[in-house]
Structure 1
């Protein structure tokens, strides 16, 4: 069966896509350790050495090399932190774009239309299938009704289940095997060939006895109950033929047993002579037993075959076709209803998932905005810390320089350093106001809920339409009995 609700499936795949592969660390901008950095850069030593030489001179306006090195270190750290911030902001912007609420809201509207259309198409396809099956059932029903009317039948056809029919045919096979064994035992007693030598002959008699009875029971004997006198004549002929077969074949087998015991040559001619002159002249009681068992096997086979199907010729076949058409229609209708129920339930499950995942995406959107603002605050704090660190480093250097000097210090030694702040550019084009987003999601949920209601309504209408086919093609009152 083709995959359904393609638009809904694409929508559910998109809203369930992961949007949180970024990592927010507790401290993305590690602070500089001013004391350790001062030791590493040997600021006190360099300050004392330069101060001993009265460097920089009092009139110097530019920073000396050590001061430039300090500021270069701090500003490099600021730029590195800014790059971290830019990377984080880019990640947040990408994640915000991937939330794609506008796209999802548009696809929800599209899925609402296509999903309902898909479901209606499935309903229509099932109705077309049932229409043909119901018409076939109507034709089979009319055939059965006409057959009963034409043949004056008011009773229900007597049919057997598949298991019962199989058992009936097993009985025929068992009769054939049992008669072969019985024939072999009795024929071996009157023959010097023994049991093995009589197996072929025993099977031949058994096959002719049982097989012939089966053919007569299937083709001729049932006609005895037919409404037509001509067909009754054929049934009567069938009964006569069966009596001739059952009596004649088994009496011949009994004579064969006695002839085989009397002579080893011309057994067939001897049997024919005995049948013509005195067919009932059996001298051995075992021969009569052999005749009786053969006749019983034939009679059992006859009644067994006659009970496999309804005895009225053709009634069983017509009734079987009707039952098959009815079962095919009923089971297919139930199967189609179950399929539509599964489709409806699968659709509703997907809709519930979409609604839940949209709510999750709303929380992700709020989290992205909050974390983005947080990292901007952390970067601003980092710039404040870097400025403070630069001031401490300059103070360490200048104080050491000042203590070692013999001449006055430059004027800029008393000037506080101010770090040039870098301001990040934040892309808020894809941002959503939480209240507005909540309202849009609520509207989408209402649309999806309405879609679920319409799918449920279409399901109920489909079930009603399927059952209405029963009124479009009404049946006669035909009921089956199964043995």
Structure 2
């Protein structure tokens, strides 16, 4: 079967080539010299050469008829496959199917959102309970990660400054020079700033409602003051002693600190003390400002805020899921519409191909008859010219091809062009109505989810996003 509308499936006969292959001229001359065929030979009394020519033509005719019948059968099958009525009825089925699937998607989204909302509600109740148990009447003030990175940056800057400063002051008495002093300075700065920062975090317990936690805050503040003073004075004494005795600097520093803590005799040692003490205070304040000033309040608020954000994302994902389902349903109907329109164009194309094939077959039979007569006439003219006497009378009569009937009928149930146009128009109306129904169903589904939508938080609440859900 051919798919190209402009391709003739029937192969033409090259009479010159056939005449050469069958040696028509040679046989005709040879037979003429022998007086063959006989002068009184009947019309159906053909000699071997004539029979070979007619046999070749009839073989080509049989092959062409087989091709034609195969093509016509394929066209009938393609026309039957274009079941317009079935496609029209499938619109209602597809619309009902897509609407049912969309309703299932909405029901599933409602169930999942309700479950997630219950979890979010529990998180909010936990935070509310925390506020009531701790007598809090303000909104939490958790620090963002940007703020915390800024705090860490401050400590890092202080660490570098103090480390290099201590290394410069301690280098004069260190047997390894600046490298050894830098190693000691790293340890000193880490202890001074790190412990001050941790004590700053602990001192926020002073704001706690329970006295046990408040005492932790008071003790932390006292420990910080004692630590900041004593530790940095000890470092200053160590700096003075390492300037005189290398091996016993640590012991002498402790002894000198015990005898007279403020007895620093070197101005640079006092500079070292004040620098370390000041940096410890800054690190201590950094720890206090690390998060909400009430212990545990920021964590509770952050848990709720993260759950609230997760719920909002889940809600938006449900809406996108509904939109995707609705779009896919609309596309399914649009595909049916396009298939029906395409089937209409295919119907016209098949009818044209069918008509063209029949004409091509008829033309081909005429071609075969003309080719057969041309070859026979070549044989007979040559024979007549070479004969001594008259040629048989039958040479004057042309040969006619015997046509075998071909089934060119179309399917009985095939629709007319007018009926197809009516079905196509009805299909477009049905599909447009179905698309409108699906759009309305999407709007209704979105409205069903609206009661489960997250509420926006007030600007002064945690992270300024949403307050209730």
Give the TM-score category using the shorter length: 0.7 to 0.9
1:369 aligns with 2:351: yes
Whole-Å separation in 2 of the counterparts to 1:264 and 1:72: 126
Q: Where do 1:317-328 residues align within 5 Å?
A: 317-328=299-310
Q: Which residue of 1 aligns with 2:450?
A: 467
Does the aligned pair in 2 maintain the 1:184–1:202 contact within 8 Å?
A: yes
Name the residue aligned to 2:289: 307
Distance in 2, matches of 1:330 and 1:125, equals 17
Q: Deviations over 1:451-480 (max 9, x none)?
A: 433443343233323331148x99999822
In structure 2, what is the equivalent of residue 248 of structure 1?
230
Note closer, same or farther for the CA distance 1:150–1:475 as it changes in structure 2 (3 Å cut): farther
Give the alignment's Cα RMSD to 1 decimal: 4.0
Q: 1:116 to 1:413 in 2, by over 3 A?
A: same
Partner of 2:122: 139
Given the superposition, is the C-alpha separation of residues 306 and 97 from structure 1 closer, same or farther in structure 2, using an over 3 Å criterion? farther
Q: Within 5 Å, give how 1:186-335 maps onto structure 2.
A: 186-191=169-174, 194-219=177-202, 221-264=203-246, 266-335=248-317
Superposition deviation, residue 320 in structure 1: 0.8
Work out the CA distance in 2 between the residues paired with 1:21 and 1:75: 23
Q: Which moved more, 1:266-275 or 1:92-101?
A: 92-101
In 2, Cα distance between the equivalents of 1:408 and 1:322? 116
- Contact residue 196 and residue 224 of structure 2 kept, 8 A: yes
Tell me which residue corresponds to 1:9: none
1:405: Cα distance to partner?
A: 8.8
**3-state SS of 1:421 partner:** coil
**Superposed CA offset, 1:137-181 (max 9, x none):** 212222223333333333332222223222322333333333222
Query: Does the CA-based 8 Å contact 2:192-2:280 persist in structure 1?
Result: yes
Q: Distance in 2 between matches of 1:234 and 1:406?
A: 144
1:150 counterpart (122, 130, 133):
133
Q: 1:168 to 1:121 in 2, by over 3 A?
A: farther
Which runs of 5 or more structure 1 residues have no equivalent in the other structure? 1-19
Residue 380 of structure 1 pairs with residue 362 of structure 2: yes
Measured against aligned partners, the alpha-carbon deviations of 1:327-382 in whole angstroms (never above 9, x if no partner) come to 11112222332343344335544543443343223212221122112211222233
Number of matched pairs: 459
Closer, same or farther: CA 420–281 of 1 in aligned 2, 3 Å: same
Q: Deviations over 1:36-81 (max 9, x none)?
A: 97897349956993996782427x4643326545544443332232
Contact 2:193 2:283 in 1 (8 A): yes
Q: Residue 85 of structure 1 aligns to a residue in which SS? A: helix
Rounded Cα–Cα distance in structure 2 between residues aligned with 1:267 and 1:54: 143
CA distance in 2, matches of 1:26, 1:202: 93
TM (norm. structure 2) is: 0.81
Check 1:456–1:305 CA distance in 2 against 1; reply closer, same or farther (3 A cut).
farther
Q: Name 2:4's counterpart in structure 1.
A: 23
Q: 1:389 to 1:320 in 2, by over 3 A?
A: closer
Higher relative contact order (CA 8 A, sep 6+): 1
Contact 1:184–1:198 (8 Å) recurs in 2:
yes
- Whole-Å Cα distance in 2 between the matches of residues 70 and 232 of structure 1? 122
How far did 1:301 drift?
0.8
What is the distance in 1 between the residues matched to 2:139 and 2:184?
44
**Ranges in structure 2 where 5+ consecutive residues have no aligned partner:** 465-469
TM-score by length of 1: 0.79
Q: Structure 1 residue 279: deviation in Å?
A: 1.8
Task: Say if 2:336 is the partner of 1:359.
Answer: no
Q: Is the 8 A contact 1:222 1:311 kept in 2?
A: yes
Deviation at 1:27, TM superposition (A): 4.4
**For the Cα contact (< 8 Å) 2:206–2:218, is it kept in 1?**
yes
User: What is the CA–CA distance in structure 1 between the aligned matches of 2:145 and 2:50, rounded to whole Å?
Assistant: 104
- Specify which of 420, 431, 441 is matched with residue 402 of structure 2: 420
